[in-house]
Structure 1
Amino acid sequence: MKKILTLILCVVLMATCLVSCGSDYSDLEIVDLGLERENFGIAFREGSDMTRKVEDITLQLIKDGLFEDLSEAYEVGAVTESEYVPSADPAPEAAT
């Protein structure tokens, strides 16, 4: 029984391949799914002084337009100031 089912499956697959070989697929089109958007993050140890420094520099690069220039050069989505999400931790209090 397994041999018969295997033979039938092979015949169906061969027929499908032969039928599809004659097609030029001229009616196919590329559909934009919008999957190119990605989110990235930078991680530091908890309480690191680098967190605030990197956030400030990143925000300045966005304001200066450098992020937009890079996004155009590498054909990726630009990050706007309203989309930028800094660390959830507030800035450390200054010692008094």
Structure 2
Amino acid sequence: MARLSCFSTAFFLIFALICTIDVMAQSPGRADGSVRPTGGEGSLRAEQCGGACAYRCSATSHKNPCIEFCNMCCKKCLCVPSGTHGHKEECPCYNNWKTKEGGPKCP
């Protein structure tokens, strides 16, 4: 009987953890104020850009320019694509903003 109870408790905890992770992945702003962006145009408020860009630029070796341009793009588009690179199709404004030379403006 104790085995069944332990198994039930473990199953419930794992299920609750999976549900919590799924909800956090769908929400751009979390209860602790940190941001793990999921993309989508207009999905952020201007004050959330700093956290979203810090995450977006976390894997690059050129952090300062990445964060500078990401913040500029985020404040215009109110979105940052999910992940540390790629996924720009989630935010057309962010994806389509180009430099004078025709290259991508947003990291």
Fold conserved (TM > 0.5)? Answer: no
**Higher RCO (CA-CA < 8 Å; seq separation 6+):** 2
**TM-score in terms of structure 2 length:** 0.24
**TM-score in terms of structure 1 length:** 0.27
Choose 1 or 2 for highest CA Rg. 1
